[in-house]
C-alpha cells in the first residue's frame, strides 16, 4: 500500500520536465524561453533588421546639418523603428504564417517552428549580406563553405549582415556630408576674407544648411531613398 501510494503521488518536478510523449515543453519552460527571447528582442531588432542602416544614416545626417541634438535621439530612434516595421512587415508576416500558426495548431514541434520561422529572416539577410563578409565569418567559424546561400547558418549571416549594413550606412553618410561640407568651406572662406575671425563659421553656415535641406525636401528624399534601398 505504501509503495502504491508513493507511485501514485505526483512528482513535484513534473511541471519543469518536457513532455516526452508529444514532444512539447511544459508551461514553465515555455515561459522561460519566451522571457529569454524577449530580452534578446531589442538586440535582434537593432542588428538583424534595417534599423541598423536607418539609424546610422539619420545620425550622420544630423551631424552633417550641424544642429547638435535636433532632432533628438528619441525622434530619430522612433522614426527608424517605424520605418523598420514598414520594411520588415512582409518578412514578419511570413515568419508568423510558417512558424507560429502551425505551432498553434499542433502541426509541428517548437523546434520545427523555429526552423521554419527563420527561413524568411535568413532569405532577407542573404539579400543584403556581402559575400566578402560572409566568407570572413565562414573562415572564422571554421565551417565548410556552404554549397548555396540557403545553407548558411544564422550565426554567420547575422554578423555578416551587420558589417555589410555598417559599410553601406557609412557610404551613405559620407555622400550626405559632401554638400554640407561645401557650404561650410564657402562660409569659412568668406568670413576669413572679410576679417570675421572671432565669429565661428559654423554659426553662420548652420542656417544655410538647414535652409538648403528644407528647400530640397531633404527628409522625404533621405527617408524615401533609405526605404527604397531595401526593395
Average pLDDT, integer, range 5-18: 42
Lowest mean pLDDT among 20-29, 61-70, 97-106, 176-185: 20-29
pLDDT class of 13 with cuts at 50, 70, 90: very low
**Cα–Cα distance list, 16 to 30, 31, 46, 48, 161 (Å):** 10, 11, 33, 32, 37
- Candidates 40, 19, 39; CA nearest to 28 is 19
pLDDT at 202 over 60: yes
Tell me how far the alpha carbon of residue 181 is from its chain's centroid.
29
Q: What percent of the chain has pLDDT over 90?
A: 9
**Residue-wise pLDDT tens digits, 141-187:** 787 877 777 777 878 888 889 999 999 999 998 898 888 888 878 87
152, 146 contact by CB (below 8 A)? yes
CA distance 157 to 204: 46
Average pLDDT, integer, range 1-23: 41
99, 114 contact by CB (below 8 A)? yes
The residues, any chain, with a CB within 8 Å of residue 87's CB and separated by 6 or more, are 49, 50, 227, 230
pLDDT class of 19 with cuts at 50, 70, 90: very low
**What pLDDT is attached to residue 123?**
85
161, 51 contact by CB (below 8 A)? no
CB atoms within 10 A of CB 33: 13
Predicted model pTM: 0.76
**What pLDDT is attached to residue 201?**
67
**What pLDDT is attached to residue 133?**
87
**Residue-wise pLDDT tens digits, 188-201:** 787 777 776 666 76
CA distance 53 to 182: 25
Amino acid at each position: 500500500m505504501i509503495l502504491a501510494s508513493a507511485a501514485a503521488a505526483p512528482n513535484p518536478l513534473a511541471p519543469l520536465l518536457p513532455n516526452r510523449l508529444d514532444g512539447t515543453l511544459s508551461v514553465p519552460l515555455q515561459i522561460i524561453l519566451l522571457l529569454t527571447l524577449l530580452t534578446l528582442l531589442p538586440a535582434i531588432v537593432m542588428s538583424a533588421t534595417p534599423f541598423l542602416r536607418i539609424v546610422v544614416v539619420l545620425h550622420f545626417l544630423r551631424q552633417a546639418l550641424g544642429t547638435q541634438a535636433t532632432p533628438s535621439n528619441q525622434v530619430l530612434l522612433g522614426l527608424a523603428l517605424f520605418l523598420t516595421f514598414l520594411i520588415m512587415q512582409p518578412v514578419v508576416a511570413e515568419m508568423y504564417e510558417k512558424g507560429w500558426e502551425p505551432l498553434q495548431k499542433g502541426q509541428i514541434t517548437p523546434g520545427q517552428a523555429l526552423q521554419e520561422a527563420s527561413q524568411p529572416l535568413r532569405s532577407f539577410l542573404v539579400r543584403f549580406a556581402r559575400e566578402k563578409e560572409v566568407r570572413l565569418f565562414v573562415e572564422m567559424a571554421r565551417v565548410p563553405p556552404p554549397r548555396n546561400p540557403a545553407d548558411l547558418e544564422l550565426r554567420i549571416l547575422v554578423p555578416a549582415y551587420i558589417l555589410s549594413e555598417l559599410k553601406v550606412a557609412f557610404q551613405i553618410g559620407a555622400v550626405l556630408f559632401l554638400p554640407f561640407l561645401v557650404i561650410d568651406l564657402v562660409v569659412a572662406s568668406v568670413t576669413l576674407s572679410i576679417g570675421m575671425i572671432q565669429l565661428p563659421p559654423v554659426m553662420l553656415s548652420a542656417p544655410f544648411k538647414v535652409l538648403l535641406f528644407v528647400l530640397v525636401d531633404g527628409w522625404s528624399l533621405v527617408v524615401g531613398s533609405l526605404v527604397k534601398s531595401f526593395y
